[in-house]
Structure formats: structure tokens, C-alpha cells
Amino acid sequence: MKVMIAGATGFIGKELIKKLNKKGHEIAVLTRNSETAKFHIPVHCELIDWDPKIKSLSPGALKGVDAVINLAGEGIADGRWSPKRKRELMESRVLSTRRLVEAMTYMDEKPRVFLSASAIGFYGDRAEELLHETGSKGQGFLSDICQRWEDEALRANQLGIRTAAYRIGMVLGHDGGALDKILPPFKFGVGGNLGNGSQWMSWVHIKDLADMMVYAIENSNVKGIHNAVSPNPVTNGEFTKTLGKVLKRPTLFPVPKMVLKMALGELSELLLGSQKVSSKKINEAGFEFKYPELETALEEVCQHAYHEIKLEQWVPQPLDKTFSFFKEARNLEKITPDFLKFKVLHQSTPEIREGTKINYRLSLHGIPVGWQSEITDWEPDCKFSDIQIKGPYNHWHHTHEFEEKNGGTLIKDHVFYKVPFGIPGDMVAGKWIKKDLEEIFTYRNKVIDTLLAQ
């Protein structure tokens, strides 16, 4: 199938793309900036520039598309809910969905299926009530935004398109999502219940969620509203206890309800609202969870000790010529942005091979830094890795792979890294370092496109 995704550069979208690619689906992505999107999209695919705030979507962009998945929307927990922020959150979901459905309206051959994200915020704060898809809408901003979001999506039903909307719970995964904010205090041993801990939390592992989305586009019996949550919701107190057990840390420091409301304002609804949500409908549709239990899900997430970057880039050059470019250390200077003042100083062997050590000098925000890497996994025309021996990271392992594809070469980059000073380093500088890496790899991508053009 050819699958078009809006909102693919987010936490959920990246995992979904990996699943779709693994299953052999053709992928196209709608994005506001195709250049910066390349850093966030883990596989090479078609990128189409589109900003729903500025313009409608041409029906021609969807030509040949079998399935459309809409994940677009501003981050709900990225800041306090000022009146302006609430408008942005609402419009980013409603307008993008409306424009997608409008584009499909004018197509002669329409996509077979449309899947849109929603959220369990639809139900509002419902205490101990077990919530099914037929349940009533709740009260408050989150309920309102989800209702309007779903109303726009379900208009696709009138076009004869099989339409589904997933009410997504708290998504658990590595390097993003809710745990990105929750884990640091727990790792320091200062985590605890939010409020009195009695509120219900309905969660889902990101791998199950991505699988669930693929299942929706591949199986015709999935239509209408579905709760995208694990079969086993827990109270906040149970969540806190389980996370402490997985991390082997105490959980003795609760955050009072009043403190959360003072610190976050209306946004505290996300943390204090109680939603005990049933997954019965998606279970009965035939979907099977890999991580139905919270402890197993948290163990999988917390075992990841590194940050990860995964990128692919296609160039119209033969495999041997592409590999030859990358095996010359001096070419690193050409594909590194000027602000790093990057310079190759010394190479331990005349030609790069297994065990070659390379010394560099660079500048990080005006601070001179030395770096030494060693080449491993050397397989000419196929792959090699460079591992930091000395340098600014606690750990850096970068694997470069090369594959013949469509008359050219697919370049695959896979990086695992740890920032210096462990958890404090991550809390203080993690986002700043990630932003720098995005700028570096975006520049590198553009230069490689130019240097290895036909």
C-alpha cells in the first residue's frame, strides 16, 4: 500500500514509519519543512511540503495513495494553556484534519482508508467509571478538542472512505513522549504520586500503538472510534510504584494537587484527570498486544540507555563511488557546518580500515574540543562504524551503511549517543545537544545531496 502520513515527524510518527517500512509499504509524508523533517524521519521516503495553516492540500498530492494517517497537531503538553496556546492546539488538529478530508472530497479515486488520531481526553475526568467508545463526552478543553477533532475526521465516512479514529492514551516509549518528562526525577529517586495517586491512567506502549495503526489500515473490520490503550489501566499510585520497581528507586516524594495546579494551570488536567479506559473493542477486532502489562512495558522502555538518531538518504550515484566519498576522512570537513570549525588533524593509517584512529578538532559554542574516533565493522562498499575514543560525549557510536537502490545508493546512518554527566547532563543540556545534532545532520544531508548529485 501507499500510505500518506501527516504529522510524521513526531514521537509516534517516527515509530509508525519504521513499522510501515518494515512491512514493505510505500510511504509519503506531508510536512511543513521537508529539509528539517529529514532529521526526524528514520527512512527514505517521499516528502511533500504542506502547511495547513497557510493553504489547502491539492488532491493531486494524494494521487495513488491507499491510506491516509493523520497525526498532525501541536504538542499538547509543550506549554501552559494560555488562550492563544489553546487556539493553536485546537486549530492545529481541526484545520489539518479538515483540509485532508477536503482534498479527498475532490478525488476521483479516493484512498481506501483514513485513520486519524484523537485522545482519551475526550472522556474528561471520570473517576472510577470504565470508559468505552460509546461513552459520553466529558467536560473541559481536552474533551472539546477531541470532539471537534473526531467530528472532522468522521466526515470522511460520507465520502465512502473507511474511517477510523484512535483515542490514544499516555504513550510510553524511549526518547520522547510522557516518560521524557517523568523519568528524570524518578531516576534521581525523588519521584512520587501525582496528587493522591488514585486517578486512573490509561497507557499504551509506543510499539503497540504503531502496530495498532498498521493493523487499522490493513484490516477492513477496523472502523469508527477505537480506544488505543493497553488492556490494563492502572492508578497513578500503581504506575508510580511499578516505575520505581523497574528503576530500583524509591518513590517517596508525592507532588500535591495544589502544587501541580499552581505550576501548570489548566494543563494539570492531563496529570490529575482520571480515565479508566477499556481496550475491549480493538481486542475484539483481532489486535494482539505485545506489551499488555505495565511492568513489561516500562522494562522495555527503561532498558534503552542511549539517545538514538536514525536517518536515510538516497543519492543518484553507484555504490562504489558513494562509499569512496565516505571513506575519505577529509570529506568530513566538507559536510560539517562552519560553526563547528571542524578539522581533521591526524589519521593513524594511510587509508581507512578496521582499527584506524582519526583525530579531529572542533568548536562547540566557542569551546575548543578534541575528538578521537576508531573505525570498526569495516566492510568496503557495505558499511563501517566510528566509535568515539575521546571526545565530548559519554558515548558515540555511528554506523554508516550503504545499499544499492533504484539505480543509486541508499545511505543509512544510525547513531547511539550519551550526553556527558549522565542524568544531570541530559536534564540541563539534552535538548540543546539534540538541537545542535539536528542542525548538523540537516546541513550534512543538504551538502551530500549537492556533492553526490548527478
CATH for 2-171+200-233+266-293? 3.40.50.720
Calpha distance 447→331 (Å, rounded) = 11
Residue 187's SS3 state is: helix
C-alpha cell at 66: 491507499
Burial 346-369 (b: 16+ CB within 10 A, else e): ebeeeebeeebebbbebeeeeeee
User: Which CATH architecture group holds 307-451?
Assistant: 2-Layer Sandwich (3.30)
Per-residue confidence (pLDDT) for residue 268, from 0 to 100: 84
Query: In whole angstroms, what is the distance from residue 146 CA to residue 151 CA?
Result: 8
Residue of 146, 95, 137 whose CA lies nearest to 119: 146
Instruction: Enter the C-alpha cell of residue 103.
Output: 482534498
202 touches 54 (CB < 8 A): no
3-state class percentages of the chain: helix first, strand second, coil last, to nearest 5: 40, 25, 35
In which region does residue 329 sit, left (phi positive, over 0), alpha (psi from -120 to 50) or beta (all else)? alpha
DSSP designation for 421: T
Distances (CA, A) of 170 to 21, 45, 338, 420: 25, 28, 41, 29
How does pLDDT run along the chain (454 residues), one tens digit per residue? Answer: 999 999 999 999 999 999 999 999 999 999 999 999 999 999 999 999 999 999 999 999 999 999 999 999 999 988 888 999 999 999 999 999 999 999 999 999 999 999 999 999 999 999 999 999 999 999 999 999 999 999 999 999 999 999 999 999 999 999 988 888 889 899 989 999 999 999 999 999 999 999 999 999 999 999 999 999 999 999 999 999 999 999 999 999 999 988 888 877 888 888 899 999 999 999 999 999 999 999 999 999 999 989 999 999 999 999 999 999 999 999 999 999 999 999 999 999 999 999 999 999 999 999 999 999 999 999 999 999 999 999 999 999 999 999 999 999 999 999 999 999 888 888 888 889 999 999 999 999 999 999 998 6
> How many residues appear in the chain?
454
Query: What are the phi and psi torsion angles at 30 (to 5°)?
Result: -90, 125
Q: What kind and span of H or E run contains 40? A: helix 34-40
pLDDT value, residue 306: 94
Portions of the chain given CATH number 3.40.50.720: 2-171+200-233+266-293
User: Does the predicted model carry a pTM greater than 0.85?
Assistant: yes
Looking at the chain, the domain(s) classified CATH 3.30.530.20 span: 307-451
Instruction: List Cα–Cα distances, 358 to 315, 348, 386, in angstroms.
Output: 26, 6, 9
Q: Exposed, middle or buried by CB within 10 Å (0-12, 13-18, 19+), for 53?
A: exposed
Q: What does the alpha-carbon distance between residue 113 and residue 322 come to, in Å, rounded to a whole number?
A: 39
Contact 20, 292 (CB under 8 A): no
Residue-level pLDDT at 423: 84
Q: What is the pLDDT of residue 264?
A: 78
pLDDT score, position 363 = 95
Neighbours of 224 (CB within 10 A): 13
Q: Are 390 and 346 in contact (CB under 8 A)?
A: no
Pick the closest to residue 46 from 36, 31, 66 (CA basis). 31
Beta bridge partners, 119, equal 168
Residue 138 has what pLDDT? 96
Kindly calculate the radius of gyration of the chain based on its CA atoms and give it in whole angstroms: 23
Per-residue DSSP letters for 263-327?
HHGGGGHHHH---EE--HHHHHTT---S--SHHHHHHHHHT--SEEEEEEEEESS-HHHHHHHHT
Q: What is the pLDDT of residue 429?
A: 87
Q: What pLDDT is stored for residue 195 in this prediction?
A: 93
